[in-house]
Amino acid sequence: MRRKIQALNVWTGTPAIWFTINPNDINNPIKMRLSIHRLHDYDTAKELLADLRGRYDRIALSTMDPVSSAIFFHREVSLFFEKYVRTGQESVFGKISHYYATVETNDRGSLHLHGLLWLAGNMQLPSLINDMADPAEGEYRARVVQYLDSVFHERLDENAGNAVRQERKPIHPDEGMMNSTETLTAAFENESNYIAYCCQVHSHTYTCIKYSLKGLAEPGADKNRRTACRFKAPWKIVEETGFTREGLLNIRRNHSLVNRYNKAMAVGLRHNHDISMILTKAKGLAMVFYITNYATKLDTPMWKRIVFAAEVFRQLSESAVPRRQLSDPAEHDARPAVLNESRQFLMRAANRIFSERQLSAVEVCYHLLGYHTDFTNVPHWSFLNLTALYWAIYRRWTHLRRQAGQQTDTEEPLDTIHLREGGRTLLYLDAYAYRGRVLRDLCLYDYMSMINLERRRGRDEDETHISLEGPPECYGWIQKLRQPPEYAVPIFQGFISDDHMDEHPVYFKRYAPKSTLLTPGLLQAG
């Protein structure tokens, strides 16, 4: 997941918007209807649905249906991207070019979504703050502020929200309003304010302090800290949207405890959500790691880790007794035996902690139903291993091979044959060197994005298929041009040390001048 997001950053720039969606899978009317129809026959379901609001207690068990929860979550999220994000079209966020989101479970075991949105044409987004600071850009600064106020909101009228709350719950919208565009338009502001009052007001819980208590108790902790809440609530009132001298964004706020929200999302989703603007590289990188760390997060408290360690110690102790009784202490050194047992204990305890994680019923059902744990509009990905790239350059760079032979013990690598289930395959690296005259000006990155390698199977060249000009192993393959909507996003996998001046015994002189690295014909034959 992290590689894909990083690949999107290279492809289209820094993400612009961060969002979190928490679908209400307990008492949402749609979820209730889905559960009732799944768990009851037609007549019983019809009877229960006749008075859905008044008979909530009777259908409470129906809402605790993990299969329906998984189906409801997937439906809700899919419709969010289809109706709200609308890639390539105008939306409540502006014009979004790409999105990527990952599914996560909370303490209750239900599912929610963290994601990133990329605005179309936002390659210069990191310089937005500097551009707005220019005194001559007053009109541009006003347009940016207008956009921010139209998407992000931190304002709330508590009295108006409380008045509506006395009449109905947020999960029960006014049917007449939701079925009429004119009526919804007239009541939009009041309805979004009502949902924000019910779902977006921050309340301090254990989640607020679970990372901050330790910092407050440490010697030298900041005694002037305003709050122990890690979200820094309550927040300061802000008169108008703008940027501070330090380049920080302040959204207009009239309530100290309302979480940032989007009006259109509040009216349509009718549950808690979070949305914020990403204007710095540091925040963008932090969001990437935040939403991907949950894929491998350790949801194991300290007491449970101690229990795991005690169980592993007991198992090792029981298995070690027979060995010690049969062995002669005079023949073996005690120190290596102790070290070996310690190593086994640490490895087994670590395996238990890192590989075992409790799964909720909803999470299991979501997987069994075949739903993906990430959402994106990227149709295809193209993968390249960095080690394979290094050796491809090594084979074709005569000077590099000569220097490596003189200063290291590296032998020239043998030619490799790549096999998959369908037989021998052809890598992009191998095909790129023999791409032909038509594609000569393409760099490797664009080649991986625009070209799909297919088996020839007797196909001749045409407008979308170009033959490879190379050795016999290329004869069975042909280069197919992708249409622009089907372009693949290249992903670079593997790892080579970031210390480019380090002389590795195998990888010789891994640094190169920038002009060389950016040359389109870097891997051209010869």
Residue 238 has pLDDT above 80, yes or no: yes
Return the pLDDT at 519.
37
Q: What is the pLDDT of residue 99?
A: 94
Q: For residue 408, name the pLDDT band (cuts at 50, 70, 90).
A: low
Question: Given this model, what pLDDT does residue 525 score?
Answer: 35
Tell me if residue 100 falls in helix, strand or coil. Answer: strand
C-alpha triplet 135, 141, 147: angle, nearest 5°: 175
- Per residue in 269-324, pLDDT tens? 988 899 988 876 677 777 777 766 655 555 566 767 788 788 888 887 877 655 55
At residue 518 the predicted structure's pLDDT band, cuts being 50, 70 and 90, is very low
Residue 465 pLDDT > 60: yes
Rounded CA gap, 459 and 291, in Å? 44
Q: pTM of the predicted model, to two decimals?
A: 0.77
For 278, half-sphere exposure in the C-beta direction (CA atoms, 13 angstrom radius) is 25
pLDDT surpassing 90 at residue 213: no
**Mean pLDDT value across residues 400-412:** 60
Residue 490: its H or E element:
strand 488-493
Rounded mean pLDDT, 233-245: 83
pLDDT of residue 482: 93
| 308 or 422: which leads in pLDDT | 308
Q: Which amino acid is at 48?
A: L
Query: Which pLDDT belongs to residue 160?
Result: 92
pLDDT at 100: 93
Closest by CA to 191, choosing from 183, 353, 66, is 183
Q: Which of 523, 486, 491 is nearest to 383 (CA)?
A: 491
pLDDT band at 263 (very low <50, low <70, confident <90, very high): very high
Asked whether residue 488 carries a pLDDT value surpassing 80, the answer given is yes
Neighbours of 30 (CB within 10 A): 15
Give the domain ranges of the chain: 1-129+260-299+360-378, 302-356, 380-517
Q: How far apart are CA 194 and CA 169, in angstroms?
A: 10
Pairing of strands 477-481, 451-455: antiparallel
- Residue 447 pLDDT more than 90? yes
Q: State how far the Cα of 150 lies from the Cα of 251, in Å rounded to an integer.
A: 11
Which range is least confidently modeled, 24-28, 151-155, 189-193? 24-28
Q: In this model, does residue 86 exceed pLDDT 90?
A: yes
Consecutive H or E run containing 384: strand 380-385
pLDDT computed for residue 32 by the predictor = 78
Query: With bands split at pLDDT 50, 70 and 90, how would you rate the model's confidence at 514?
Result: very low
User: Range with the lowest mean pLDDT among 1-15, 202-216, 486-500?
Assistant: 202-216
% of residues, the chain, pLDDT over 70: 75
Q: Is a pLDDT exceeding 60 seen at residue 29? A: yes
Residues 6+ apart with CB under 8 A from 261: 152, 153, 154, 196, 200, 273, 274, 275
Instruction: Quote the pLDDT of residue 13.
Output: 84
At 289 the pLDDT is 74
Dihedral sign computed on CA atoms, order 306, 310, 311, 313: positive
The mean pLDDT value of the chain amounts to 78
Number of Cβ within 10 Å of residue 60's Cβ equals: 12
pLDDT of 523: 39
Predicted confidence (pLDDT) per residue in 347-378, tens digit = 888 777 766 667 788 888 888 999 988 899 99
